Amino acid sequence: MFDSVAANFVLHCVPGIWAEKGRAFGHIAQIIADDGVFFGSTILDTGAHHTPLSRALNSLYNGPIKLFHNRGDDLDGLHTALTAAFEEVEITVVGTVAVFATRRPLCPGS
């Protein structure tokens, strides 16, 4: 069991919608200690206040460069995916970045 697991600036690069990306949260919940913390950050697409430059870069990274896979990634979807695996979820949005911390895995010790 791990006391903490971090996923900083990773999720917006993972292909799929939140339901698909969220499968990883269930796996993390299985390997984190009952009192452990899963935390991280990701760049949101929908519902986030992008500047013209950040919107252009997000489009470029999702398009021709294919580095990002965050089209449609929003705060509600992230919250829903995290609460499917953890009892306590805290999310703070800073600009276009969602910073999250979770506690109390729903499948502790599995």
Residue 107 tokens read as 């499948």
Residue-wise pLDDT tens digits, 51-78:
999 999 999 999 999 999 999 999 999 9
Q: Where are the alpha helices (H) located in the chain, listed in sequence order?
A: 18-21, 23-31, 52-62, 75-83
The pTM score is: 0.93
Question: Do residues 38 and 29 make contact, with C-beta atoms less than 8 angstroms apart?
Answer: yes
Question: Smallest Cα–Cα separation from 57: which of 43, 47, 40?
Answer: 43
**Does residue 11 carry a pLDDT above 50?**
yes
- Is the CATH code 3.40.50.150 the one for domain 2-48+57-105? yes
At residue 108, does pLDDT exceed 70?
no
